[in-house]
Amino acid sequence: MSKFSIVSFFIYFVVSAAPAAVGEDYDYRTIRSPRSLTAEESRVAEDQYQRYCSLCHGADRQGYVNDHAPSLRSKSLFRSGVPHEVLRPIQYGREGTAMGGYLDEVGGPLTLDETWNLTYWLFWQADTERVRITKELVSGDAGRGAELYTENCTDCHGANGEGVNAPALGNPSALSHNSDEFIRYAIREGRDGTPMEPWKDKLSSDDIDNLTAFLRIRASGWEQSRVALREGPTPDQ
C-alpha cells in the first residue's frame, strides 16, 4: 500500500466512523474567557465563598459536604455555564432545595456586583476554557426521553426529578435558568470528578436530545412554584 492510500484509508475510517451514533463528538467551539478580577475583588470573592458556600460546597469547591451540593470545580460546569447558569443559582437559588438565593434583592447578603465577581472567581479557580453554548432549542421525542430517564437516571436524580443524591432536575428555577444546550452538555459530557458520567459514551446523540426534551417539558408533572421577591421600595423610601 502506498503512503497515500494508507492516509486515505485513515481518512476514510475517521470520516465513516464520525456519524456513528454513540460516542460522537460535538464540535464545541471555545470562546473568550470572562474578565479577570482585580486582586481585591478576588480576595473578597474568596472570602465570601468560604463564608457563605463552603459549608455545603466544600472549602476546596469539591462539593458533597452537605445536602449533596454539587461540585463547584468541575471543568464541565465552568466550560458550559459561565456566566448565567452559574450566576442565576447564586443570585436566586433553587426553589425547594438547600440552595438559597444570595442576592440582596431576594434577602441575601451579596450585591449584584459581588454575585458576578463570585461567578468569575469560581470560573478562574476551575482553570478551564469556555465553550459556546447556544440558546437554540433542542428538539427530541420526550416520550422516548421519559423511558430513557426511568432506565438510566432515577437512581441518582429521583423518579420525579426531585434529586436523591444529585441535583433536582425537575426544579422549576433550574429549568428556567438553564438553557437546553447547557442541559444537553451536562448529559453528554458529564461533570468531571463527580458521579455524573459522560453519557455520550453510552447513549446516541438522538437519545441525549430525547432526554433533554423530556427534562425540558417537565413531562412527569413536576410542579412549579413562585419565587418570593423582596417588597419593592415605596415612594417615601
Binding site for ligand HEC (CB under 6 A): 52-53, 55-57, 63, 66-72, 74, 77, 86, 89-90, 94, 97-99, 102, 118, 152-153, 155-157, 163, 166-169, 171, 174, 183, 186-187, 191, 194-196, 199, 211
Amino acid at 174: A
In the numeric block, which cell numbers belong to residue 139? Answer: 428538539
User: For residues 71 and 128, which CB has a smaller minimum distance to ligand HEC in the complex?
Assistant: 71
The least CB distance from residue 25 to ligand HEC, in Å, is 18
The least CB distance from residue 236 to ligand HEC, in Å, is 32
The residue among 169, 185, 182 whose CA lies nearest residue 219 is 169
**Rg value, the chain, Cα:** 20
User: For residues 11 and 202, which CB has a smaller minimum distance to ligand HEC in the complex?
Assistant: 202
Name 4's Cβ contacts closer than 8 Å, sequence gap at least 6: none
- Distance separating alpha carbons of residues 211 and 143, to the nearest angstrom: 9
The least CB distance from residue 102 to ligand HEC, in Å, is 4
CA atoms within 13 A on the CB side of 78: 22
The least CB distance from residue 233 to ligand HEC, in Å, is 25
User: For residues 138 and 174, which CB has a smaller minimum distance to ligand HEC in the complex?
Assistant: 174
User: For residues 62 and 234, which CB has a smaller minimum distance to ligand HEC in the complex?
Assistant: 62
| Max Cα distance, the chain (Å) | 87
User: For residues 5 and 60, which CB has a smaller minimum distance to ligand HEC in the complex?
Assistant: 60
